[in-house]
Amino acid sequence: MATIFHIAIPEQWAAAVEAGCYRWSTRGKSLDAGATFIHCSRHDQVAMVANFVYDDVPGPLTLLVIDTERLVSALCDEDLDGIGISFPHIYGPLNLDAVLDDRPYERGADGRWPTVLDDHSLRS
């Protein structure tokens, strides 16, 4: 089983659970407002994305742990910005049964979003 991660705003994740699917691409962008994919990360990319995109968000955020084998929408690994780093992108809504876990993601003592060591560290 391969896992990827998505950083979510807690209120948006709660609304998605109630609605039955998740449609947020990244901060401030949704599939309903023209985004074409849901931005995800591998465990070693989570902190980099959080410290760039969510730098001014006090937190906590919600970190979704996603089983790629359960995804209904297409998954592509892409370097769309041409920076030499590819990211997993889900092209369509995220089905909730693909989410293995949702955890609070909080800033470290140094004020930065911490590194996610591996998916096992996130499971109960």
Nearest in space to 99 (alpha carbons), one of 11, 10, 9, 13:
13
> For the residues of 43-99, what is the DSSP string, one character each?
TTTHHHHHHHHSTT--S-EEEEEEEGGG-SSEEEEE-TTSSS--EEEEES-EEGGGE
pTM of the model: 0.90
Domain boundaries, the chain: 3-110
Question: What is the Cα–Cα distance from 83 to 3, expressed in whole angstroms?
Answer: 23
Question: What is the Cα–Cα distance from 99 to 83, expressed in whole angstroms?
Answer: 28
40-72 pLDDT tens trace: 999 999 999 999 999 999 889 999 999 999 999
Question: What is the Cα–Cα distance from 97 to 78, expressed in whole angstroms?
Answer: 24
Token pair, residue 34, equals: 């023209």
Element (H, E) at 8: strand 3-8
Question: What is the Cα–Cα distance from 88 to 34, expressed in whole angstroms?
Answer: 18
Residue range 3-110 in CATH 3.30.70.890: no
Query: What band does 118 get if pLDDT is binned at 50, 70 and 90?
Result: low
More confident site: 108 or 124? 108
Residue pair 47/107 in contact (Cβ under 8 Å)? The answer is no
